[in-house]
């Protein structure tokens, strides 16, 4: 299996006031194409920072981050924009839907600028929200909003789907629905999917689990057998 992402000695730090926080202290790893990857680790261990760099939302301080052999660290802001537009689907922790747009329109916001999108309604159908297409975010529950966010991410048929705590704010049943949707997409379209979570149980769904601690990868675990969302204890 070819690897989609490859990182080498990835470092990133933030300076706030007079303290410097090392969010990433040299992360070297590989993520094969088509896998469902789960990232675990304590709060503040650098998971989001890593994901954001993979997604081209942020630049590393040093090190390499290769997407299909191309180093994202060398890309200009403009090139990164096109990288995100064409290859990456994001699901954010805070949903980040546009409150003044309906579910359908929030999805269309992305399909309009993608080269090879699916019909927004189809994307909503995948997450089971076809009948809520014309509802505004304020009329939906957190889980429903998160599913719209997933539909928005996958509607562009991205090569990689990056999800930062997609179930963090959801109850177990809704979490199962959301996870099932993600797994379905991963299987159906072979979309490489990376999910950050605090729920260790979710790790059993993944092909590969990356454990973070203190800005580094502690270890990587490969699951020989995977559970289904319905099987896991929440």
Residues near Mg ion (CB under 5 A): 48
Does residue 21 interact with another protein by CB under 8 A?
A: no
Residue 57 interface partner, choices ligand ATP, Mg ion, another protein, none, CB cut-off 5-8 Å depending on type: another protein
Minimum distance, C-beta of residue 76 to another protein, in the bound complex (Å) = 11
CA dihedral 209, 228, 146, 136 (to 10 degrees): 160
Q: Nearest approach, Cβ of 16 to ligand ATP (angstroms)? A: 5
Separation between Cα atoms, residue 24 and residue 111, nearest integer Å? 33
Under rule CB under 8 A, residue 19 binds another protein: no
The vertex-111 CA angle with 109 and 115, nearest 5°, equals 135
Determine the size of the site formed for another protein (CB under 8 A). 36
Q: Strands across the sheet with 208-213, in order?
A: 88-91, 160-164, 192-196, 36-40, 208-213, 216-222
CA 203 to chain centroid: 14
Nearer to another protein, 57 or 216 (CB): 57
Which of 30, 105, 122, 214: binder of another protein (CB under 8 A)? 105
Pairing of strands 36-40, 19-32: unpaired
Residues that bind another protein (CB under 8 A): 16-17, 48, 52, 55, 57-59, 77-78, 81-82, 84-86, 88, 90, 92, 94, 96, 98-101, 105-106, 108-110, 112-114, 137-138, 152, 156
């Amino acid at each position: 299996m070819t690897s989609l992402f490859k990182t080498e000695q990835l470092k990133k730090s933030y300076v706030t006031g007079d303290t410097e926080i090392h969010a990433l202290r040299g992360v070297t790893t590989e993520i094969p194409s088509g896998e469902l990857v789960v990232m675990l680790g304590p709060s503040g261990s650098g998971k989001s920072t890593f994901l954001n760099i993979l997604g081209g939302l942020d630049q590393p301080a040093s090190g390499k981050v290769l997407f299909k052999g191309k180093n994202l660290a060398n890309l200009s802001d403009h090139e990164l924009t096109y990288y995100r537009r064409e290859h990456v689907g994001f699901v954010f922790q805070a949903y980040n839907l546009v409150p003044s747009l309906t579910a359908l329109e929030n999805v269309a916001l992305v399909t309009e600028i993608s080269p090879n999108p699916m019909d927004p309604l189809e994307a909503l159908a995948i997450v089971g929200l076809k009948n809520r297409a014309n509802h505004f975010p304020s009329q939906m529950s957190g889980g429903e909003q998160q599913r719209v966010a997933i539909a928005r991410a996958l509607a562009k048929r991205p090569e990689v789907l990056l999800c930062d705590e997609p179930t963090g704010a959801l109850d177990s049943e809704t979490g199962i629905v959301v996870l099932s949707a993600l797994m379905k997409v991963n299987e159906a379209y072979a979309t490489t999917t990376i999910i950050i979570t605090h729920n260790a149980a979710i790790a059993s769904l993944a092909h590969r689990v990356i454990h973070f601690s203190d800005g580094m990868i502690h270890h990587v675990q490969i699951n020989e057998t995977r559970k289904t969302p319905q099987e896991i204890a929440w």
